[in-house]
Structure 1
């Protein structure tokens, strides 16, 4: 069991979804956790949930518009003033494009507005970098800290629309390159890939009656084996407690690999399906029947897995119908 007593954390975009789940777990392990979002009332609901769990950690909601440079600057100034310059963890999770991705998944990139780039990568890629700069300035003074970009397999494999994958690949590269500059200050920077996560928005999407049969089946197969929003939070808590975290800096890390290494389960007592498992990869390509016969423990080595993703052309029921024309 890891302890984060005395640690000061910041999770951006934490009013719901993965960010909320991460904040709940960090406070469960004893951390003081600042959480941000555009709606203070939604953030206060997370704070209230933390209090009802009677955990040793503390949740501090801060309204912040992550598309505003000044708002972000004030956020870090506040943390520095209130915590005497201490910041042990930044989780870059703020992202405003989920609905846009769901609404435009069936359009080719040339049929979308140029604004799609900013919609997907402003509060996301650009803001992740901006927050990393502010956090690094605090962490290097204390010669310790961890920055985590929440990314995904979309950095290697096509998903939904091109700006999504471009942004995720850039987040992975951000962790790799920033880690070089931060290494001599004992500050780690990693890119974390959760698998499919059953967030509130995903739950609503699964109930959408307008889904095609193929897309509905694909989504239900994927998210019936998904992580809860709190599973990535468990993983980050364990990374925070890793005395050899600098050996991981600059790397892409899968949440399910952290779970396997530390032998913990999701909050529902289950093991999410590992994205490196052959079962997961076959199911992701729509080969459900074949996938049912494959044991979940049969996994592809990480190096080979990354190579396969780099070379693969997406074969998934989640792709646009026009892509098969």
Structure 2
């Protein structure tokens, strides 16, 4: 399958590292011009340069914005008023006892994990619908369907993303625009390795080995028996962003290594 996204403009939020950056690189490899975002100017510029040094068919454009603020969102929309592909990847997670999560923390998780995606979809969907083509992908999590007791606030916001994604898919029916969610499972990235350390990983092992051990111990239903790579997640997102995925719409597609014990 030859995925060609030449001439397409894409936005990947929260993409200076991890899954977001891997998605941006994958879209650029298919020819798209991709805007990546992050709060730190130096980090987002460094990430874009690293990918652009690979001389892929597409290019990454860095934009330092805090999308959790109205000012940052306005800056994004001014710099990038329209896109063909929207990947709502921005999100936060942290292991925390339910009894220690106060109201402010619940609100913060909603604002970062849910509201940022609502704002970008509200901005970009009308243009996609007018043009008769567009792709929106929410990066949710298998935690949306298997709420982790060690971070219920994260799981709950990921469930909300599934509802919003499906609702938007219904809203855009017949327009040539598709809206889907992707549900990664444990994936080896900077954020996840930090999470594993907080959960009490073996400091004598490499970050990769600790993460794989975490999967085997704490996600024993995994059929992969290791953490996925960011590229493995990105491959699915790039496909869903392509013309070839035109009949995949309103779906929640798993790339969780078989962690969720289900046949659908």
Normalised to the residue count of structure 2, the TM-score between the two structures is: 0.85
Q: What does residue range 230-241 of structure 1 map to in structure 2 within 5 Å?
A: 230-241=231-242
Query: How far apart, CA to CA, are the structure 1 residues paired with 2:106 and 2:19?
Result: 22
Aligned twin of 1:21: 22
**What SS does the corresponding residue of 2:62 show, helix, strand or coil?**
strand
Query: How far apart, CA to CA, are the structure 2 residues paired with 1:244 and 1:158?
Result: 29
Query: How far apart, CA to CA, are the structure 2 residues paired with 1:244 and 1:18?
Result: 20
Aligned twin of 2:258: 274
Say if 2:232 is the partner of 1:219.
Answer: no
Q: What does residue range 1-325 of structure 1 map to in structure 2 within 5 Å?
A: 1-80=2-81, 85=82, 87-95=83-91, 97-98=92-93, 101-102=94-95, 104=96, 107=97, 109-159=98-148, 160-206=150-196, 210-211=200-201, 219-221=214-216, 225-245=226-246, 247-255=247-255, 273-275=257-259, 281=261, 300-302=262-264
Normalised to the residue count of structure 1, the TM-score between the two structures is: 0.70
Q: Where in structure 1 do 4 or more consecutive aligned residues deviate above 6 Å? A: none
When residues 218 and 227 of structure 1 are mapped into structure 2, their CA distance, relative to the original with a 3 A threshold, is closer
Which one has the bigger strand percentage? 2
Tell me the number of residue pairs that the alignment of Structure 1 and Structure 2 aligns: 250
Query: How far apart, CA to CA, are the structure 2 residues paired with 1:112 and 1:172?
Result: 23
Which one has the bigger helix percentage? 1
**What SS does the corresponding residue of 2:229 show, helix, strand or coil?**
coil
Q: Deviations along 1:246-276, whole A, 9 cap, x unmatched?
A: x3211111136xxxxxxxxxxxxxxxx3335
5+ residue gaps in structure 2? 204-209
**What SS does the corresponding residue of 1:202 show, helix, strand or coil?**
helix
Q: Deviations along 1:196-254, whole A, 9 cap, x unmatched?
A: 110112234445694499x9886152596222112222212222224452x32111111
Structure possessing the higher radius of gyration over alpha carbons: 1
